[in-house]
Structure 1
Amino acid sequence: MTSPDSFSLAGEHTLLLIDDDIELTDMLKTYLEGAGYNISVANDGESGLAMATASDHIDLILLDVMMPKMDGFDVLKKLRVSHYTPVLMLTARGDDYDRILGLELGADDYLPKPFNHRELLARIKAIFRRLELSTSGRSQQDLVVGGICLSASRQTVEVDKTPVILTGTEFSILQLLMLNAGQLVTKQDISQKVMGRKLMAFDRGIDMHVSNIRKKLSAVCKTDTIRTIRGSGYMLIRAV
């Protein structure tokens, strides 16, 4: 997205699956290849990170948390230094800490284990659909609001000509807020239009993504441009 990395938005996609469960990765590889994806597999964090950073042709990473040599959080932290390839974290069911930390470190989405294969496929398709929508139709226009400049065609964000590096999900959320500047955008709208699913009760994913956007913007612009409408959603302030 907003980095030197390029993502193919049409045709076959290449996925990197990083998980130490060999039986699971073999099963998922067969299933996802049957769905039309090219799949590469790494069974530990170190080799997964090496594969992720060595190639510019990986469109999405499926990343487990608990792994030998290097856990998923360390992989993600090191990956985000130079690469903004979309990452779908595979977390332990019911472990909110894993989910929140993954999103704080720059994951685009998470899916608790054990999961249904169809749910995994739906999450993958939603991420790619989000990438396609962000560069097409009405969303193609360049946006300037409150000193923030977002270019959909170049997939870049700048504040006072200073680049702000966002993940794909963060980019799409900011784009939605800018398209509706001065108006309330509910969490339900963000979840459906950006994440591609209904907002679930107690899901803090949207809050974490917005928090990350705020931190990155505030590092350049000292005024908080995103207002929280308690219990409802968010609003991007027009004038700063």
Structure 2
Amino acid sequence: MLQHVDVQPGKRYQLKLDIRRNSADASPVAMVCLRWLIYPLDCKVASFGKLPLVEGWQTITGELPLRTARGEWGAPLVLELYNRSHKAPLEIDNVSLVELETGRELIRNGSFTDANDFWFFSSDRNHMPWHVKNFAVNQVFELGWVGLVATAFLLLAVGGRLVARGLTGDSYAAVCLASLTGCMMVGLFDSITDVPRLSIVFLLIALAGSLKAARKRIKVRRQPSAAEDPAADTLTT
């Protein structure tokens, strides 16, 4: 489970949460990392020490010294919680991350009373159970049927014009059409809008395809009329 947190480098934070488990193999791991969606970087792990196995809920506390600053591309800092065991279940509740100097609470909906609001789930190594491996299906999942129709209209509007321009010999349109087709070929078996950078690249390709060179303005020299031409007043015999 992931949540963006407004932590500051150089400060100390206390992480507290309630856990319930039936096996000692199930143990929580908590850390703050630089992350977009998958593959975290420069993680700082909270240390809980050796946890005794007790019946029912138990509260655990760990200190999190943070030295991480925001990295390249403005990747946000994310609190990550996961279960070290792949088989034994682990229940987590009442998550709290407090800045020790000020007492400021950084976690929103830590008790999960509002379901998964402010939380998101991800997996870095086993994402197949939740990852949508098709662009169209992913659009329905993320944006609903209205979003799918809007996306289809965008692709048809841009793609149709590119085809028409490409048939007239416009090489720029042909390149943009090939790029857009490449995106859609990948989209048959994967999603191309998982992270903001990929979404921006896709939209920039569509935007570039909708552009075309401005028409050259031809200046027409206006011929003077008979009233304006002094030679017109001269009569020849």
TM-score (norm: length of structure 2) = 0.25
**Which protein is bigger by CA-based radius of gyration?**
2
The structure, 1 or 2, with the larger RCO (C-alpha pairs under 8 Å, 6+ apart) is 2
